[in-house]
Chains A and B, each alone.
Chain A
Amino acid sequence: MKKTVITVVGKDSVGIIAKVCTYLANHQINILNISQTIVDGFFNMMMIVDVAMYDKEFGNLVDDLESLGEDMGCIIKVQREDIFDSMHRL
């Protein structure tokens, strides 16, 4: 399992989660956890996904979701989970 964190930050609108999930489903990425919150009026969503079966390079996932985010007017970041584990877990 290769856990990866996807964050979506932006103004809330119809279909954001649907579009991200469609991409993930089309590329064999399994969603392990989803949570969301509103911070300063902005929609914040975090997904933890498994990219072990992803059919492209990790860099493509970063680029693809970034441009998907741009199309929807929000910022999508894809980061390996280790950076958060390192910072917040002993």
Chain B
Amino acid sequence: MINIREVLETNEMIDKENLDVRTITMGISLLNCIDTDPDRLSDKIYDRITLAAKDLVSVGEAIEKEYGIPIVNKRISVTPIALIGGSACKTPEDYVKLVRALDRAAKTTGVNFIGGYSALVSKSMTKSDELLIRSIPQALAETELVCSSVNLGSTKTGLNMDAVKMMGEVILETAKNTADKGSIGCAKLVVFCNAPDDNPFMAGAFHGVTEGDEIINVGVSGPGVMRRALESVHGADFGTLCEKVKKTAFKITRVGQLVAREASKRLQVPFGIIDLSLAPTPAIGDSIADIFEEMGLERAGAPGTTAALALLNDQVKKGGVMASSYVGGLSGAFIPVSEDQGMINAVQDGALTIEKLEAMTCVCSVGLDMIAIPGDTKASTISGIIADEMAIGMVNQKTTAVRLIPVIGKGVGETVEFGGLLGHAPIMPVNSFDCTEFINRGGRIPAPIHSFKN
């Protein structure tokens, strides 16, 4: 039988160290909604989502109550809309009709976000993909709860540099369209290389075409728990440190697995995966940067940070994989700037730059995330940053992402406030040397060699 020490340990994690389940995300296929008329398609999408997810929020809240563990977000991901709207949408405005339907469906079901206003263009774009991408600035300005993502490359296909160029412009346009709200539209827009089909985290969640009709994916969290656990091995060698990370990741993930199983059973929707990500929040102590400091670095960004992140990421996976029957999504440590008070401090103290963050993304689960940059940054510079990050993902056979926020009207030294889980961010300087000629070349960067293994 469970003993009081174990009960108190679990409750301490929840009450004092911000242990939570970050999200229950229901993936919903919209393939059976496809229609030739945009209005009819909008209605079908709305009906499909609101029926499939009608109990998602209430079931999530019941699990929270019965197990005493916060489930911070209930979310929906849908089939990439560029695949659904192909025969109905002839203009970007037609796509905006669909995004309104998604936003209404999210509001009706009571979820925090809906993801999947997406296009998968890793090799090249269909007309439909292009229309959706061109509609993103208007779509994100007109809606509140819709998140958008575009997959720009993969290890198998190489990088679609035409799309990389276009996304630099789209990100800037999105920032301008939401300039009155700190360019927050860009916080709901992410570009990927090697995007996973089953990611439960926003802004990049979509329900891939390899998935079934409906699925439950769960994202766990717990940087605060990890940091506290590492206090108990302060100064110990790396072997001891790694063991502690693994054991703690195991405990955190087991809670996620329990929640996923319960949600799956109660909603009668198959369980997909647990995403083993350490996802920070702006809450004090719920920070990846604080883990680095506990490991012995003065600030995130100090020499040794990439090594610290590499071991953290790997040990989280090693511990977490044992605790769950299916693991997927992004799985690793997130290093967003605005959502992590320790990272914000590191930037403000001059310890952390975009270039160091780029190096860190080689060994962590995502990429350049929630980074505010000056509003006068050129579109081609944004595309250049994206190309660099996509290249890291392509060559290293991993997911990488970019979520940059050019904050219109603000420059280096100022900060922007997003509120809630999105936090606030200092505007970071960007290398201003020009890359326009490189980006304007167009075409594709071929897939890298991962062959000659015989």
Contacts and interface: CB of A to CB of B under 8 A. Distances in A.
Q: What bracket does the count of chain A residues touching chain B fall in?
A: 20 to 34
30 contacts: A5-B2, A7-B7, A32-B1, A33-B1, A37-B8, A39-B8, A44-B4, A46-B4, A46-B7, A48-B2, A58-B66, A59-B62, A62-B65, A62-B66, A62-B68, A77-B11, A78-B68, A79-B69, A80-B66, A80-B67, A82-B258, A83-B10, A83-B69, A84-B2, A86-B254, A87-B10, A87-B254, A88-B2, A88-B10, A89-B2
B4 A37 contact: yes
A80 B262 CA distance: 12
A51 to B, nearest CB: 10
Which of A5, A78, A82, A87 is most buried by chain B, counting CB atoms within 10 A of its CB? A87
Contacts of A71: none
A84 B67 CA distance: 9
A13 interface: no
A55 interface: no
A89 to B, nearest CB: 8
A55 B10 CA distance: 28
| Prevailing SS type, chain A contact patch | strand
Given A5-B7, A44-B8, A62-B68, 9 more contacts: A7-B7, A46-B4, A46-B7, A77-B11, A77-B68, A78-B68, A83-B255, A87-B6, A89-B2
Interface residues of B, number: 22
Contacts of B9: 88
| Prevailing SS type, chain B contact patch | helix
B127 interface: no
A82 B258 CA distance: 8
A83 B4 contact: no
Contact of B258 (A7, A46, A86): A86
A35 interface: yes
Contacts of A35: 3-4
Given A83-B67, A83-B255, A88 B8 contact: no
